[in-house]
Amino acid sequence: MNFVTNKIKKQIQPEAVQVLTNYAWPGNVRELRNVIEFLIVSTTALFITPNDLPENIKENWDFAHPFNTIESEAILKPSKSEPKNLKESIDEYERKQIVTALENSKSIRSAAALLGVNHANLMRKMKRLGIK
């Protein structure tokens, strides 16, 4: 799905479209319009991914195949001693990815670029996950 407004060109990845399609939209068309406008102006990359979506929409996403690496599958498997819910598993994965990016970058901005998110989104995620 492509959007072009005032010389801003963005594409929403099919996975993000699926998340948006599965969301209940209690605010109806106004909420959808506001989310699309937010995504267009807040996402620095050309492609809008599910990770760029607002938290309240991502919470309703069915993470059937969230990652493609064997390492991430090991991270998301709950340990036998302490089962984790989906949100805790995702937070743990995000925390690990962010810390790794920060360790391999000279600044938060370059870490954000490495992760494919904008600086503000990375700062919000770091605050939510308790990363300093």
The answer to whether the 1-62 and 64-132 domains have the same CATH topology is: no
Task: Sheet with 2-5: list strands edge to edge.
Answer: 2-5, 8-12, 47-48
Looking at domain 64-132, which CATH architecture does it have? Orthogonal Bundle (1.10)
Looking at residue 82, its pLDDT comes to 54
Which sequence spans correspond to the domains of the chain?
A: 1-62, 64-132
- Tell me what the mean pLDDT of segment 95-106 comes to: 88
**pTM for this predicted structure:** 0.43
Looking at residue 55, its pLDDT comes to 82
Distance CA 125, CA 94 (A): 8
- 12's tokens: 């929403």
Please give the backbone phi and psi of residue 17, each rounded to the nearest 5 degrees, phi first. -60, -40
% of the chain beyond a pLDDT of 90: 5
Looking at residue 68, its pLDDT comes to 33
Distance CA 32, CA 84 (A): 32
- 93's tokens: 């994965």
Report the mean per-residue pLDDT for the chain: 76
CATH domain 1-62 topology: Helicase, Ruva Protein; domain 3 (1.10.8)
39-88 pLDDT tens trace: 888 888 888 888 888 888 877 665 554 443 333 344 444 444 455 677 78
